[in-house]
Structure 1
Amino acid sequence: MATIDRQTTTLALAHALSAAERGLAVIPLSRTKLPALRSPHRDDPTAAACHGECGRYGHGVYDATTDPARIREMFAAAPWATGYGIACGLPPYHLIGIDLDTKSDTDSSAALRELALRHLFTIPETVVVLTPSGGRHLWLSGPPDVVVPNSASRLAPGIDVRGAGGYLVGPGSRTDHGSYTTAPGTGRLPPAPCPPSLLRLLLGPPRTPRRPAPRADSAHGQGLIHFVLSAHPGQRNTRLFWAACRAYESGLGPALAAALIDAAVHTGLTVQEAQATVASAARMTRRAE
């Protein structure tokens, strides 16, 4: 049994490295489809807000990376991993996953086709991943300045959405219920751009912002700067974007932007890349208001 497990982990690592070559940030998953590495803070509730600043693994999608060395390290730390997750919402594709479930009483594929007819969009040719239960995952690419939230059956019964902060089980993964595979002819396609009409449905109705008051002290800002400074290759742009979004949401964006850019440049990004990422976070935050 141990030999089979090692072979399965080796295959999962190979698939994960292949996905990373395409620009998809990954983490190892267990047979239950959950992150294979447990939180290093599970016995310390006061550290629940850590998103990888501690430098250890076990922070779910916040560990996601395209760096081969980091991916190998994570799989070495989780020899029980049998699959990998692909983080959604990150550059370069800003991946959106449309999960068509087969467990509900409603035909989710028919529901999606009905939405397409009603809202005048075409479901594009794109990557399709077949799940062990008979469901399908459609991969779509989103705009860089839009954050699509995760949702379950909000779009229609049986249709779940994986967006920012979520992940999709990657093809080649094995779980307790079977393997995930790409549908014939779709494996090498790039994720197709999400149709604008569908994107509006994914974003949902505008919400009244509940912006917290800016912190009187600088602890929050220093934490965000440290989060950027602790980025490893393959995480730098992702961490900068996340930190800049949190800064603008808390009202500290204008005051903290220069320091975040300096921190990103210190990790290896160019000034132009860092400025563009912070500007994208500012636009996204304004759009969410």
Structure 2
Amino acid sequence: MAITDRQTATLALAHALSAAEHGLPVIPLSATKLPALRSPHRDEGRPVSCRGACGLPGHGVHDATTNPAAVRALFAAAPWATGYGIACGRAPHHLIGVDLDIDATGRSDSAAALQQLALHHLFTIPPTVTVITPSGGRHIWLTGPSGVAVPNSAGRLAPGIDIRGAGGYLVGPGSVTTRGAYRLAPGAADLLPAPCPRALLRLLAPPARPHRPPGRPDQGRGLVRFVLAAREGQRNTRLFWAACRAYEHGFGDALAAALTRAAVRTGLTEQEARATIASAARLTSGRPPGPENAAGPSA
């Protein structure tokens, strides 16, 4: 490794340790802005969902830590690292990154788009940590409340505006990449990440699922009668529709047994009825369908 490379790596570690000292979980990054350590499961020949439970480094943002000894160990395992990433969405800051991109012409309307959003939704971006990217873009750091997971997105808020939230990371200031260095904006060195304005947080965070109280014993009788009235060729379709309505109104689990008995009386097997009800439960909860009824209900 050349002297310059060693100096870059040493500075990257120093910046990462400073960030960790301020409660920001960090990982080493390569000059391509990707996690510097490769997955320990890369040669296993099958998808692995390990997020670090194996105890080995190389799980990307899941390796992020504020422990100085652990930070040093990560960088020692990746001596080629030239920068560091800061995990978003993690305690204590629950960092949210607003990435204002620069387009191919060197100009960007992303800042203007953010200003328009602020005017329309009545919020202002407070003074906060801002990082200048090698292309001239901006990373605006904000903090979110605990218990609110802001998802990552690209261009969803407005063209040229990417959001780094839970499971994502920001390239830390002082990092060096193939395109140049990331640096703090003038006047940002003495600032702390400011709280995300509530109106902006509402745009970024997914809406909470409404809480529905448990259903009354008499709820769903009409749905059961609807299933019982099914003729051959519409039994599964009626059962699926009724189960969806029951789960949407919050009493699907309570009504599942009655719907199963009704479907069996119309001629379906208990296994067929349970599979259809389970498919309705997955659909209304947003989970992907399982293999037993992946194509949905049949006639």
What TM-score do the two structures reach when normalised by structure 1?
A: 0.70
Q: Does 1:58 align with 2:66?
A: no
Contact 1:131/1:137, CA 8 A, preserved across alignment: yes
Name 1:136's counterpart in structure 2: 138
Paired letter, 1:171: P
Paired letter, 1:50: C
Q: Which ranges in structure 2 are unaligned for 5 or more consecutive residues?
A: 211-285, 288-299
Name 2:191's counterpart in structure 1: 189
Other structure's SS at 1:184 match: coil
Distance in 2 separating the partners of 1:129 and 1:196? 22
Contact 1:37/1:78, CA 8 A, preserved across alignment: yes
Greater length-normalized contact order (CA 8 Å, ≥ 6 residues apart): 1
Contact 2:101/2:108, CA 8 A, preserved across alignment: no
What per-residue deviation string (whole Å, max 9, x for no partner) do you get for residues 229-257 of structure 1?
xxxxxxxxxxxxxxxxxxxxxxxxxxxxx
**Which of these residues, 152, 155, 168, is aligned with residue 153 of structure 1?**
155
For the structure 1 residues 53 and 47, does the alpha-carbon distance in structure 2 shift closer, same or farther, using more than 3 Å as the test? Answer: farther
Report how far residue 75 of structure 1 moved.
0.5
Q: Does 1:16 align with 2:16?
A: yes
Structure 1 runs (4+) greater than 4 angstroms displaced? 204-208
Other structure's SS at 1:140 match: strand
Contact 1:85/1:169, CA 8 A, preserved across alignment: yes
Name 2:164's counterpart in structure 1: 162
What TM-score do the two structures reach when normalised by structure 2?
A: 0.67
Distance in 2 separating the partners of 1:27 and 1:77? 11
Aligned length, in residue pairs:
210
Name 2:182's counterpart in structure 1: 180
Paired letter, 1:160: D
Distance in 2 separating the partners of 1:106 and 1:157? 10
For the structure 1 residues 15 and 103, does the alpha-carbon distance in structure 2 shift closer, same or farther, using more than 3 Å as the test? Answer: same
Q: Does 1:85 align with 2:85?
A: yes
Other structure's SS at 2:96 match: strand
Identity %: 70
What per-residue deviation string (whole Å, max 9, x for no partner) do you get for residues 242-280 of structure 1?
xxxxxxxxxxxxxxxxxxxxxxxxxxxxxxxxxxxxxxx
Name 1:5's counterpart in structure 2: 5
Distance in 2 separating the partners of 1:102 and 1:205? 30
Report how far residue 188 of structure 1 moved.
2.8
Other structure's SS at 1:80 match: coil
